[in-house]
Structure 1
Amino acid sequence: MIKYIIHAEVPFLQFEDHYLQPWIDTMQPTFIVKGRHTIHSDCFKKFEDLKKELHTELQSLDSRVCLTSDIWTASQNLGYMAITAQYVDAEFKIKKKIISFKVLEYPHSGFAIEEETMRCLTEWGLRCSAHILNILVQDGMTVIHTAIKKIRELLKHIDSSVSRLPMFNSLAKGMGLASKSGIYLDIPTRWNSTFQMLREALKYKAVLNSYAPKIF
Protein backbone atom coordinates (compact mmCIF):
# COMPACT_ATOMS: atom_id res chain seq x y z
CA MET A 1 0.00 0.00 0.00
CA ILE A 2 2.84 2.39 0.85
CA LYS A 3 4.47 1.73 -2.53
CA TYR A 4 1.16 2.49 -4.24
CA ILE A 5 0.69 5.72 -2.24
CA ILE A 6 4.15 6.96 -3.20
CA HIS A 7 3.90 5.94 -6.85
CA ALA A 8 0.38 7.34 -7.33
CA GLU A 9 1.16 10.45 -5.24
CA VAL A 10 -1.94 9.93 -3.09
CA PRO A 11 -2.43 12.84 -0.63
CA PHE A 12 -2.15 11.79 3.01
CA LEU A 13 -5.41 13.62 3.73
CA GLN A 14 -7.27 11.00 1.67
CA PHE A 15 -6.89 8.58 4.58
CA GLU A 16 -9.12 10.82 6.70
CA ASP A 17 -12.00 10.32 4.26
CA HIS A 18 -15.02 8.81 6.07
CA TYR A 19 -15.98 6.69 3.04
CA LEU A 20 -12.59 4.92 2.79
CA GLN A 21 -12.94 2.40 5.65
CA PRO A 22 -16.50 1.32 4.68
CA TRP A 23 -15.27 0.69 1.14
CA ILE A 24 -12.28 -1.33 2.41
CA ASP A 25 -14.68 -3.33 4.64
CA THR A 26 -16.56 -4.57 1.57
CA MET A 27 -13.33 -6.17 0.33
CA GLN A 28 -11.40 -7.06 3.52
CA PRO A 29 -13.19 -6.36 6.82
CA THR A 30 -10.12 -7.22 8.91
CA PHE A 31 -7.98 -4.51 7.29
CA ILE A 32 -8.04 -1.32 9.36
CA VAL A 33 -7.06 1.86 7.54
CA LYS A 34 -4.46 3.88 9.45
CA GLY A 35 -4.63 7.64 9.96
CA ARG A 36 -2.74 10.13 7.80
CA HIS A 37 -0.04 10.67 10.42
CA THR A 38 0.78 6.94 10.53
CA ILE A 39 0.72 6.74 6.73
CA HIS A 40 3.03 9.78 6.58
CA SER A 41 5.49 8.13 8.99
CA ASP A 42 5.40 4.83 7.09
CA CYS A 43 6.12 6.61 3.78
CA PHE A 44 9.14 8.39 5.23
CA LYS A 45 10.36 5.15 6.80
CA LYS A 46 10.13 3.53 3.37
CA PHE A 47 12.08 6.48 1.93
CA GLU A 48 14.86 6.05 4.50
CA ASP A 49 15.01 2.29 3.82
CA LEU A 50 15.30 2.86 0.06
CA LYS A 51 17.93 5.55 0.65
CA LYS A 52 20.05 3.13 2.71
CA GLU A 53 19.73 0.46 -0.01
CA LEU A 54 20.80 2.94 -2.70
CA HIS A 55 23.72 4.17 -0.55
CA THR A 56 24.95 0.58 -0.16
CA GLU A 57 24.59 -0.04 -3.90
CA LEU A 58 26.51 3.12 -4.82
CA GLN A 59 29.33 2.25 -2.42
CA SER A 60 29.73 -1.22 -3.95
CA LEU A 61 29.76 -0.05 -7.59
CA ASP A 62 32.66 -0.89 -9.88
CA SER A 63 31.48 1.68 -12.41
CA ARG A 64 31.48 5.46 -12.29
CA VAL A 65 28.48 7.57 -11.30
CA CYS A 66 27.51 10.35 -13.70
CA LEU A 67 25.57 13.34 -12.37
CA THR A 68 23.15 15.69 -14.06
CA SER A 69 21.49 18.68 -12.43
CA ASP A 70 18.46 20.81 -13.15
CA ILE A 71 17.53 24.17 -11.64
CA TRP A 72 14.24 26.01 -11.86
CA THR A 73 12.26 28.69 -10.02
CA ALA A 74 8.81 28.00 -8.58
CA SER A 75 5.91 30.46 -8.63
CA GLN A 76 6.90 31.55 -5.10
CA ASN A 77 10.29 32.68 -6.53
CA LEU A 78 12.05 29.87 -4.68
CA GLY A 79 14.88 28.17 -6.54
CA TYR A 80 15.10 24.39 -6.58
CA MET A 81 17.92 22.10 -7.66
CA ALA A 82 17.61 18.41 -8.47
CA ILE A 83 20.60 16.10 -8.91
CA THR A 84 20.24 12.81 -10.73
CA ALA A 85 22.74 9.95 -10.56
CA GLN A 86 23.10 7.62 -13.53
CA TYR A 87 25.18 4.46 -13.40
CA VAL A 88 25.49 0.86 -14.57
CA ASP A 89 24.83 -1.68 -11.83
CA ALA A 90 26.42 -5.11 -11.24
CA GLU A 91 23.91 -6.72 -13.62
CA PHE A 92 24.87 -4.26 -16.35
CA LYS A 93 21.58 -2.40 -16.13
CA ILE A 94 21.41 1.38 -16.47
CA LYS A 95 20.02 3.00 -13.33
CA LYS A 96 18.74 6.54 -12.93
CA LYS A 97 18.07 7.87 -9.43
CA ILE A 98 17.24 11.34 -8.10
CA ILE A 99 19.61 11.68 -5.15
CA SER A 100 18.90 15.30 -4.22
CA PHE A 101 15.97 17.69 -4.49
CA LYS A 102 16.46 20.81 -2.39
CA VAL A 103 15.93 24.55 -2.24
CA LEU A 104 18.89 26.40 -3.76
CA GLU A 105 20.04 29.47 -1.86
CA TYR A 106 19.87 32.79 -3.72
CA PRO A 107 21.76 33.97 -5.71
CA HIS A 108 21.95 30.92 -7.95
CA SER A 109 25.62 31.44 -8.71
CA GLY A 110 28.15 28.86 -9.81
CA PHE A 111 29.47 28.82 -6.25
CA ALA A 112 26.00 28.06 -4.79
CA ILE A 113 25.51 25.25 -7.30
CA GLU A 114 28.94 23.83 -6.49
CA GLU A 115 28.25 23.97 -2.75
CA GLU A 116 24.93 22.14 -3.09
CA THR A 117 26.52 19.53 -5.36
CA MET A 118 29.34 18.95 -2.88
CA ARG A 119 26.86 18.58 -0.01
CA CYS A 120 25.02 15.96 -2.05
CA LEU A 121 28.22 14.06 -2.91
CA THR A 122 29.32 14.13 0.73
CA GLU A 123 25.93 12.86 1.91
CA TRP A 124 26.07 9.91 -0.49
CA GLY A 125 29.76 9.19 0.06
CA LEU A 126 30.66 9.84 -3.59
CA ARG A 127 34.07 11.26 -4.49
CA CYS A 128 34.58 13.94 -7.12
CA SER A 129 38.15 14.02 -8.40
CA ALA A 130 37.70 17.47 -9.96
CA HIS A 131 36.54 18.93 -6.65
CA ILE A 132 39.37 17.27 -4.70
CA LEU A 133 41.90 18.64 -7.19
CA ASN A 134 40.32 22.09 -6.90
CA ILE A 135 40.62 21.99 -3.08
CA LEU A 136 44.28 20.96 -3.29
CA VAL A 137 45.18 23.72 -5.74
CA GLN A 138 43.14 26.36 -3.89
CA ASP A 139 44.93 25.40 -0.67
CA GLY A 140 48.30 25.66 -2.41
CA MET A 141 47.46 29.10 -3.83
CA THR A 142 46.91 30.57 -0.36
CA VAL A 143 50.64 31.34 -0.18
CA ILE A 144 50.24 33.76 -3.11
CA HIS A 145 46.68 34.85 -2.31
CA THR A 146 47.65 38.53 -1.88
CA ALA A 147 49.49 38.63 -5.21
CA ILE A 148 46.59 36.94 -7.03
CA LYS A 149 44.13 39.43 -5.54
CA LYS A 150 46.24 42.40 -6.69
CA ILE A 151 46.53 41.00 -10.22
CA ARG A 152 42.77 40.32 -10.33
CA GLU A 153 41.89 43.84 -9.17
CA LEU A 154 44.27 45.41 -11.68
CA LEU A 155 42.79 43.38 -14.54
CA LYS A 156 39.26 44.25 -13.38
CA HIS A 157 40.22 47.93 -13.47
CA ILE A 158 41.46 47.64 -17.06
CA ASP A 159 38.40 45.64 -18.11
CA SER A 160 35.86 47.97 -16.47
CA SER A 161 36.22 50.72 -19.11
CA VAL A 162 36.52 50.57 -22.91
CA SER A 163 38.99 53.47 -22.84
CA ARG A 164 41.52 51.60 -20.68
CA LEU A 165 42.17 48.65 -22.98
CA PRO A 166 43.62 50.86 -25.79
CA MET A 167 46.01 52.33 -23.21
CA PHE A 168 47.03 48.80 -22.18
CA ASN A 169 47.50 47.78 -25.83
CA SER A 170 49.56 50.86 -26.55
CA LEU A 171 52.00 49.86 -23.81
CA ALA A 172 52.00 46.25 -25.06
CA LYS A 173 52.78 47.31 -28.63
CA GLY A 174 55.66 49.47 -27.41
CA MET A 175 57.13 46.39 -25.73
CA GLY A 176 56.71 44.17 -28.80
CA LEU A 177 53.71 42.27 -27.47
CA ALA A 178 50.46 41.53 -29.28
CA SER A 179 47.38 43.65 -28.60
CA LYS A 180 44.47 42.06 -26.75
CA SER A 181 40.82 42.23 -27.72
CA GLY A 182 39.76 41.67 -24.11
CA ILE A 183 41.01 40.98 -20.60
CA TYR A 184 40.63 37.47 -19.21
CA LEU A 185 39.31 37.39 -15.63
CA ASP A 186 39.11 34.26 -13.54
CA ILE A 187 36.33 32.66 -11.52
CA PRO A 188 37.93 32.43 -8.04
CA THR A 189 36.28 29.09 -7.22
CA ARG A 190 37.75 27.44 -10.35
CA TRP A 191 41.50 26.95 -10.13
CA ASN A 192 41.96 26.33 -13.85
CA SER A 193 40.52 29.75 -14.68
CA THR A 194 42.84 31.37 -12.10
CA PHE A 195 45.77 29.53 -13.68
CA GLN A 196 44.81 30.85 -17.11
CA MET A 197 44.50 34.40 -15.76
CA LEU A 198 47.95 34.19 -14.13
CA ARG A 199 49.49 32.73 -17.28
CA GLU A 200 48.18 35.68 -19.30
CA ALA A 201 49.29 38.14 -16.62
CA LEU A 202 52.80 36.65 -16.59
CA LYS A 203 53.03 37.04 -20.35
CA TYR A 204 52.15 40.74 -19.99
CA LYS A 205 54.00 41.26 -16.71
CA ALA A 206 56.07 44.20 -17.98
CA VAL A 207 52.96 45.89 -19.39
CA LEU A 208 51.07 45.50 -16.12
CA ASN A 209 54.03 46.81 -14.12
CA SER A 210 54.16 49.84 -16.39
CA TYR A 211 50.38 50.33 -16.40
CA ALA A 212 49.77 50.08 -12.64
CA PRO A 213 51.72 53.24 -11.53
CA LYS A 214 49.73 55.30 -14.03
CA ILE A 215 46.49 54.36 -12.28
CA PHE A 216 47.22 53.58 -8.65
Structure 2
Amino acid sequence: MSSDEGRGGCSPPEVSSIPQLSNVGSSSPLLLDSPVFISNNTTPNPEIHVTDQGTEKTPVENEGTQVNAMEKNVKEEEQNKGDDEFHIPKRSKTSQVWDDFEEIEENGTFYATCPANEIFSTLPALHTGKFDMEAMREAAAHWVLMHEHPFTVLEEEGFNIMMRRGMPEWQKISRGIAKNDCVTVYEVEKKKLKNKLKHVQKLQKRVLNFVHIPPPRRGVEIAAAIFKCAKEWEIDHKIHTISVDNASNNDVAIRLLKDDFSRSKKLLCGGKLFHVRCCAHILNLVVQDGLSKIVDITNNIRESVEFVNRSKGRALLFAEIAQQLRIPGKKLLYDCRTRWNATFEMLNCAIKFKDVFPRFQDREPHYDFCPSPDD
Protein backbone atom coordinates (compact mmCIF):
# COMPACT_ATOMS: atom_id res chain seq x y z
CA MET A 1 0.00 0.00 0.00
CA SER A 2 1.39 3.48 -0.88
CA SER A 3 0.41 6.82 0.58
CA ASP A 4 -0.87 9.65 -1.60
CA GLU A 5 1.64 12.50 -1.29
CA GLY A 6 -0.75 15.02 -2.85
CA ARG A 7 -3.22 14.71 0.01
CA GLY A 8 -0.77 15.63 2.73
CA GLY A 9 -0.30 14.15 6.20
CA CYS A 10 -3.68 15.20 7.72
CA SER A 11 -6.00 13.06 5.66
CA PRO A 12 -8.45 10.82 7.57
CA PRO A 13 -7.49 7.19 8.03
CA GLU A 14 -8.83 4.46 5.78
CA VAL A 15 -10.30 1.40 7.36
CA SER A 16 -10.02 -1.95 5.62
CA SER A 17 -10.78 -5.42 6.81
CA ILE A 18 -8.43 -8.06 5.31
CA PRO A 19 -8.15 -11.78 5.96
CA GLN A 20 -4.34 -11.81 6.16
CA LEU A 21 -1.41 -9.45 6.46
CA SER A 22 2.07 -10.30 5.14
CA ASN A 23 5.51 -8.78 5.57
CA VAL A 24 4.99 -7.73 9.17
CA GLY A 25 8.03 -9.13 10.86
CA SER A 26 7.20 -12.69 9.79
CA SER A 27 7.14 -14.70 6.61
CA SER A 28 3.90 -16.47 7.48
CA PRO A 29 0.56 -14.70 7.11
CA LEU A 30 -1.04 -13.23 10.26
CA LEU A 31 -4.79 -13.92 10.46
CA LEU A 32 -6.91 -11.19 12.02
CA ASP A 33 -10.51 -11.27 13.28
CA SER A 34 -10.89 -7.49 13.80
CA PRO A 35 -10.43 -4.49 11.46
CA VAL A 36 -6.96 -3.10 10.89
CA PHE A 37 -6.68 0.69 11.16
CA ILE A 38 -4.10 2.12 8.71
CA SER A 39 -2.90 5.71 8.89
CA ASN A 40 -2.49 7.53 5.57
CA ASN A 41 0.45 9.65 6.66
CA THR A 42 3.05 10.69 4.08
CA THR A 43 5.87 9.09 6.04
CA PRO A 44 7.82 6.40 4.17
CA ASN A 45 6.95 3.73 6.70
CA PRO A 46 3.14 3.52 7.19
CA GLU A 47 2.06 2.66 10.71
CA ILE A 48 -0.16 -0.36 11.39
CA HIS A 49 -1.97 -0.59 14.76
CA VAL A 50 -3.68 -3.93 15.51
CA THR A 51 -6.27 -3.72 18.29
CA ASP A 52 -7.33 -7.32 18.71
CA GLN A 53 -6.33 -8.99 21.96
CA GLY A 54 -3.83 -11.78 21.65
CA THR A 55 -2.10 -10.45 18.49
CA GLU A 56 1.24 -8.70 18.27
CA LYS A 57 1.23 -4.91 17.90
CA THR A 58 3.58 -3.06 15.59
CA PRO A 59 5.69 -0.46 17.47
CA VAL A 60 4.41 3.06 17.07
CA GLU A 61 7.02 5.48 15.71
CA ASN A 62 4.96 8.55 14.91
CA GLU A 63 1.84 10.13 16.39
CA GLY A 64 -0.71 9.86 13.60
CA THR A 65 -4.48 9.60 13.86
CA GLN A 66 -5.24 6.38 15.79
CA VAL A 67 -8.48 4.76 16.94
CA ASN A 68 -8.29 2.16 19.66
CA ALA A 69 -11.11 -0.35 19.28
CA MET A 70 -10.43 -1.83 22.69
CA GLU A 71 -11.02 1.50 24.44
CA LYS A 72 -14.17 1.94 22.42
CA ASN A 73 -15.45 -1.47 23.53
CA VAL A 74 -14.64 -0.60 27.16
CA LYS A 75 -16.68 2.60 26.88
CA GLU A 76 -19.61 0.68 25.40
CA GLU A 77 -19.43 -1.86 28.21
CA GLU A 78 -19.48 0.94 30.79
CA GLN A 79 -22.52 2.48 29.12
CA ASN A 80 -24.36 -0.84 29.00
CA LYS A 81 -23.31 -1.79 32.52
CA GLY A 82 -26.21 -1.93 34.94
CA ASP A 83 -28.98 -2.19 32.34
CA ASP A 84 -30.21 -5.36 34.05
CA GLU A 85 -29.98 -3.83 37.53
CA PHE A 86 -32.31 -1.52 39.43
CA HIS A 87 -31.19 2.08 39.30
CA ILE A 88 -32.75 5.50 39.77
CA PRO A 89 -32.04 7.96 36.96
CA LYS A 90 -30.38 11.19 37.97
CA ARG A 91 -32.54 14.28 37.96
CA SER A 92 -31.62 17.43 36.19
CA LYS A 93 -30.43 20.32 38.37
CA THR A 94 -33.44 22.61 38.10
CA SER A 95 -33.46 23.92 41.67
CA GLN A 96 -32.02 27.36 42.38
CA VAL A 97 -30.05 25.91 45.29
CA TRP A 98 -27.45 24.64 42.81
CA ASP A 99 -26.49 28.26 42.13
CA ASP A 100 -24.74 28.26 45.53
CA PHE A 101 -22.71 25.08 44.84
CA GLU A 102 -19.52 24.55 42.89
CA GLU A 103 -19.01 21.37 40.87
CA ILE A 104 -15.57 19.74 41.01
CA GLU A 105 -14.16 16.52 39.54
CA GLU A 106 -11.81 14.07 41.22
CA ASN A 107 -10.71 10.89 39.45
CA GLY A 108 -13.67 10.98 37.13
CA THR A 109 -16.20 11.50 39.96
CA PHE A 110 -18.10 14.76 40.22
CA TYR A 111 -18.75 16.43 43.58
CA ALA A 112 -20.65 19.53 44.67
CA THR A 113 -19.14 21.78 47.29
CA CYS A 114 -20.73 24.68 49.12
CA PRO A 115 -18.61 27.74 49.86
CA ALA A 116 -20.64 28.25 53.05
CA ASN A 117 -18.89 25.25 54.59
CA GLU A 118 -15.89 27.46 55.27
CA ILE A 119 -18.09 29.95 57.11
CA PHE A 120 -19.94 27.39 59.25
CA SER A 121 -17.03 24.98 59.72
CA THR A 122 -16.97 25.68 63.47
CA LEU A 123 -20.60 24.58 64.04
CA PRO A 124 -21.11 21.06 65.46
CA ALA A 125 -22.47 18.37 63.15
CA LEU A 126 -26.18 17.58 63.33
CA HIS A 127 -25.46 13.84 63.42
CA THR A 128 -22.42 11.86 64.39
CA GLY A 129 -22.89 9.47 61.48
CA LYS A 130 -22.72 6.43 63.78
CA PHE A 131 -25.43 3.78 63.69
CA ASP A 132 -27.45 3.57 66.92
CA MET A 133 -29.61 0.44 67.15
CA GLU A 134 -31.19 1.63 70.40
CA ALA A 135 -32.46 4.78 68.69
CA MET A 136 -33.73 2.68 65.79
CA ARG A 137 -35.68 0.45 68.18
CA GLU A 138 -37.28 3.51 69.75
CA ALA A 139 -38.20 4.87 66.30
CA ALA A 140 -39.64 1.47 65.32
CA ALA A 141 -41.80 1.45 68.46
CA HIS A 142 -43.12 4.94 67.65
CA TRP A 143 -43.86 3.77 64.09
CA VAL A 144 -45.80 0.72 65.31
CA LEU A 145 -47.83 2.78 67.80
CA MET A 146 -48.49 5.63 65.39
CA HIS A 147 -49.90 3.47 62.59
CA GLU A 148 -51.24 0.64 64.79
CA HIS A 149 -49.10 -2.01 63.08
CA PRO A 150 -48.90 -5.50 64.55
CA PHE A 151 -45.72 -6.37 66.40
CA THR A 152 -44.97 -9.06 63.81
CA VAL A 153 -44.41 -6.42 61.11
CA LEU A 154 -40.83 -6.01 62.39
CA GLU A 155 -40.17 -9.72 61.84
CA GLU A 156 -41.17 -9.75 58.17
CA GLU A 157 -38.36 -10.81 55.85
CA GLY A 158 -38.93 -8.08 53.26
CA PHE A 159 -38.86 -5.35 55.92
CA ASN A 160 -35.54 -6.58 57.31
CA ILE A 161 -34.02 -6.90 53.82
CA MET A 162 -34.96 -3.30 53.13
CA MET A 163 -33.47 -2.09 56.42
CA ARG A 164 -30.19 -4.01 55.94
CA ARG A 165 -29.84 -2.65 52.42
CA GLY A 166 -29.56 0.88 53.77
CA MET A 167 -28.09 0.00 57.20
CA PRO A 168 -25.93 -3.15 57.26
CA GLU A 169 -25.73 -2.90 61.07
CA TRP A 170 -29.51 -3.34 61.40
CA GLN A 171 -30.58 -6.17 63.72
CA LYS A 172 -33.89 -7.98 63.50
CA ILE A 173 -36.44 -7.02 66.16
CA SER A 174 -38.66 -9.81 67.47
CA ARG A 175 -42.30 -9.33 68.40
CA GLY A 176 -41.51 -9.70 72.12
CA ILE A 177 -38.87 -6.99 71.98
CA ALA A 178 -41.22 -4.77 69.97
CA LYS A 179 -43.93 -5.19 72.60
CA ASN A 180 -41.57 -4.27 75.43
CA ASP A 181 -40.26 -1.26 73.50
CA CYS A 182 -43.81 -0.01 72.89
CA VAL A 183 -44.59 -0.29 76.61
CA THR A 184 -41.39 1.60 77.42
CA VAL A 185 -42.28 4.35 74.93
CA TYR A 186 -45.76 4.58 76.47
CA GLU A 187 -44.33 5.00 79.97
CA VAL A 188 -41.91 7.68 78.78
CA GLU A 189 -44.64 9.64 77.01
CA LYS A 190 -46.94 9.22 79.99
CA LYS A 191 -44.32 10.73 82.28
CA LYS A 192 -43.88 13.68 79.90
CA LEU A 193 -47.62 14.33 79.78
CA LYS A 194 -47.92 14.01 83.55
CA ASN A 195 -45.26 16.67 84.05
CA LYS A 196 -47.01 18.90 81.53
CA LEU A 197 -50.34 18.58 83.33
CA LYS A 198 -48.75 19.78 86.55
CA HIS A 199 -48.07 23.19 85.04
CA VAL A 200 -51.05 23.50 82.72
CA GLN A 201 -52.52 27.00 82.50
CA LYS A 202 -54.86 26.74 79.49
CA LEU A 203 -57.59 24.34 78.52
CA GLN A 204 -56.09 21.11 77.21
CA LYS A 205 -57.55 18.23 75.23
CA ARG A 206 -55.82 14.92 75.93
CA VAL A 207 -56.79 11.24 75.95
CA LEU A 208 -55.56 9.87 79.28
CA ASN A 209 -57.07 6.40 79.67
CA PHE A 210 -59.24 3.77 78.07
CA VAL A 211 -60.79 1.78 80.91
CA HIS A 212 -62.68 -1.46 80.53
CA ILE A 213 -65.55 -1.71 82.99
CA PRO A 214 -67.16 -5.15 83.13
CA PRO A 215 -70.98 -5.39 83.25
CA PRO A 216 -73.36 -4.43 84.74
CA ARG A 217 -71.44 -1.07 84.70
CA ARG A 218 -73.26 0.53 87.59
CA GLY A 219 -72.61 4.06 88.72
CA VAL A 220 -70.40 2.85 91.57
CA GLU A 221 -67.98 1.08 89.18
CA ILE A 222 -67.90 4.09 86.83
CA ALA A 223 -67.14 6.48 89.69
CA ALA A 224 -64.36 4.21 91.00
CA ALA A 225 -62.73 3.98 87.54
CA ILE A 226 -62.77 7.76 87.02
CA PHE A 227 -61.42 8.47 90.49
CA LYS A 228 -58.58 5.96 90.02
CA CYS A 229 -57.61 7.56 86.70
CA ALA A 230 -57.57 11.04 88.26
CA LYS A 231 -55.34 9.87 91.14
CA GLU A 232 -52.97 8.06 88.77
CA TRP A 233 -52.47 11.19 86.66
CA GLU A 234 -52.33 13.42 89.77
CA ILE A 235 -55.12 15.70 88.56
CA ASP A 236 -57.71 14.92 91.21
CA HIS A 237 -57.24 18.42 92.71
CA LYS A 238 -57.66 20.14 89.32
CA ILE A 239 -61.03 18.75 88.18
CA HIS A 240 -63.81 21.34 88.11
CA THR A 241 -66.45 19.80 85.80
CA ILE A 242 -67.26 16.44 84.21
CA SER A 243 -69.40 16.04 81.07
CA VAL A 244 -71.38 12.84 80.53
CA ASP A 245 -74.54 11.87 78.71
CA ASN A 246 -77.91 11.54 80.39
CA ALA A 247 -77.83 7.88 81.39
CA SER A 248 -79.01 7.08 84.90
CA ASN A 249 -75.83 5.25 85.89
CA ASN A 250 -73.83 8.36 84.97
CA ASP A 251 -75.98 10.46 87.29
CA VAL A 252 -75.09 8.12 90.16
CA ALA A 253 -71.38 8.21 89.26
CA ILE A 254 -71.28 12.01 89.16
CA ARG A 255 -73.01 12.27 92.53
CA LEU A 256 -70.39 9.99 94.13
CA LEU A 257 -67.45 11.78 92.47
CA LYS A 258 -68.77 15.15 93.57
CA ASP A 259 -68.77 13.98 97.14
CA ASP A 260 -65.23 12.50 96.88
CA PHE A 261 -63.60 15.53 95.21
CA SER A 262 -65.28 18.03 97.53
CA ARG A 263 -63.47 16.43 100.50
CA SER A 264 -60.01 17.34 99.13
CA LYS A 265 -60.74 20.77 97.63
CA LYS A 266 -63.44 23.37 97.20
CA LEU A 267 -65.42 22.86 93.99
CA LEU A 268 -66.18 25.68 91.57
CA CYS A 269 -69.39 27.55 92.48
CA GLY A 270 -70.00 25.13 95.31
CA GLY A 271 -70.24 22.19 92.90
CA LYS A 272 -73.13 23.64 90.87
CA LEU A 273 -71.09 23.36 87.66
CA PHE A 274 -69.54 19.97 88.45
CA HIS A 275 -72.05 17.96 86.38
CA VAL A 276 -72.26 19.31 82.82
CA ARG A 277 -74.65 17.34 80.67
CA CYS A 278 -73.54 16.57 77.10
CA CYS A 279 -75.26 19.04 74.76
CA ALA A 280 -74.57 16.81 71.76
CA HIS A 281 -76.47 13.98 73.42
CA ILE A 282 -79.33 16.33 74.24
CA LEU A 283 -79.47 17.50 70.63
CA ASN A 284 -79.46 13.89 69.47
CA LEU A 285 -82.42 13.09 71.71
CA VAL A 286 -84.35 16.06 70.29
CA VAL A 287 -83.68 15.02 66.70
CA GLN A 288 -84.49 11.37 67.38
CA ASP A 289 -87.82 12.47 68.82
CA GLY A 290 -88.57 14.31 65.59
CA LEU A 291 -87.48 11.36 63.44
CA SER A 292 -89.92 9.15 65.31
CA LYS A 293 -92.72 10.85 63.34
CA ILE A 294 -91.34 9.37 60.08
CA VAL A 295 -90.03 6.12 61.50
CA ASP A 296 -91.70 4.05 58.74
CA ILE A 297 -90.01 6.06 55.98
CA THR A 298 -86.68 5.95 57.75
CA ASN A 299 -86.91 2.18 58.17
CA ASN A 300 -87.76 1.69 54.47
CA ILE A 301 -84.77 3.77 53.41
CA ARG A 302 -82.48 1.96 55.85
CA GLU A 303 -83.65 -1.45 54.60
CA SER A 304 -83.26 -0.30 50.98
CA VAL A 305 -79.69 0.84 51.58
CA GLU A 306 -78.82 -2.43 53.27
CA PHE A 307 -80.48 -4.49 50.51
CA VAL A 308 -78.64 -2.68 47.69
CA ASN A 309 -75.22 -2.62 49.32
CA ARG A 310 -75.43 -6.22 50.54
CA SER A 311 -74.55 -7.57 47.08
CA LYS A 312 -72.01 -6.23 44.61
CA GLY A 313 -74.26 -7.14 41.71
CA ARG A 314 -77.17 -5.14 43.16
CA ALA A 315 -74.90 -2.16 43.80
CA LEU A 316 -73.69 -2.25 40.17
CA LEU A 317 -77.29 -2.52 38.92
CA PHE A 318 -78.33 0.44 41.07
CA ALA A 319 -75.40 2.49 39.78
CA GLU A 320 -76.23 1.55 36.18
CA ILE A 321 -79.82 2.80 36.57
CA ALA A 322 -78.58 6.03 38.17
CA GLN A 323 -76.21 6.54 35.25
CA GLN A 324 -79.03 6.00 32.74
CA LEU A 325 -81.09 8.67 34.52
CA ARG A 326 -78.03 10.98 34.61
CA ILE A 327 -78.11 11.21 38.39
CA PRO A 328 -74.78 12.13 39.99
CA GLY A 329 -73.50 9.68 42.56
CA LYS A 330 -73.59 5.92 42.48
CA LYS A 331 -73.73 4.73 46.08
CA LEU A 332 -76.18 4.89 48.96
CA LEU A 333 -74.95 5.80 52.45
CA TYR A 334 -75.41 3.83 55.65
CA ASP A 335 -76.36 5.56 58.86
CA CYS A 336 -75.53 5.15 62.52
CA ARG A 337 -78.73 5.02 64.58
CA THR A 338 -77.14 6.75 67.55
CA ARG A 339 -75.94 9.71 65.45
CA TRP A 340 -78.67 11.95 64.13
CA ASN A 341 -76.41 13.62 61.53
CA ALA A 342 -75.66 10.20 60.00
CA THR A 343 -79.40 9.55 59.62
CA PHE A 344 -79.81 12.96 57.99
CA GLU A 345 -77.03 12.21 55.49
CA MET A 346 -78.61 8.85 54.64
CA LEU A 347 -82.02 10.45 53.95
CA ASN A 348 -80.49 13.34 52.03
CA CYS A 349 -78.59 10.92 49.79
CA ALA A 350 -81.68 8.73 49.24
CA ILE A 351 -83.73 11.74 48.05
CA LYS A 352 -81.39 12.16 45.08
CA PHE A 353 -82.11 8.57 44.01
CA LYS A 354 -85.90 8.74 44.43
CA ASP A 355 -86.40 7.97 40.70
CA VAL A 356 -83.98 5.05 40.82
CA PHE A 357 -85.80 3.00 43.46
CA PRO A 358 -88.92 2.20 41.30
CA ARG A 359 -86.81 1.10 38.31
CA PHE A 360 -84.59 -0.94 40.58
CA GLN A 361 -87.71 -2.69 41.92
CA ASP A 362 -88.77 -3.57 38.33
CA ARG A 363 -85.42 -5.28 37.67
CA GLU A 364 -84.98 -6.85 41.11
CA PRO A 365 -88.00 -9.02 42.07
CA HIS A 366 -86.84 -9.60 45.68
CA TYR A 367 -86.76 -5.90 46.51
CA ASP A 368 -89.74 -5.13 48.78
CA PHE A 369 -88.67 -1.90 50.48
CA CYS A 370 -89.26 0.61 47.71
CA PRO A 371 -90.44 3.98 49.14
CA SER A 372 -93.74 5.21 47.82
CA PRO A 373 -94.07 8.52 45.94
CA ASP A 374 -95.78 10.01 49.00
CA ASP A 375 -92.78 9.13 51.15
Shorter-chain TM-score range: 0.3 to 0.5
Larger RCO (CA within 8 A; separation ≥ 6): 1
Select the structure that is richer in helix: 1
Select the structure that is richer in strand: 1
Larger radius of gyration: 2
TM-score (norm 2): 0.29
TM-score (norm 1): 0.48
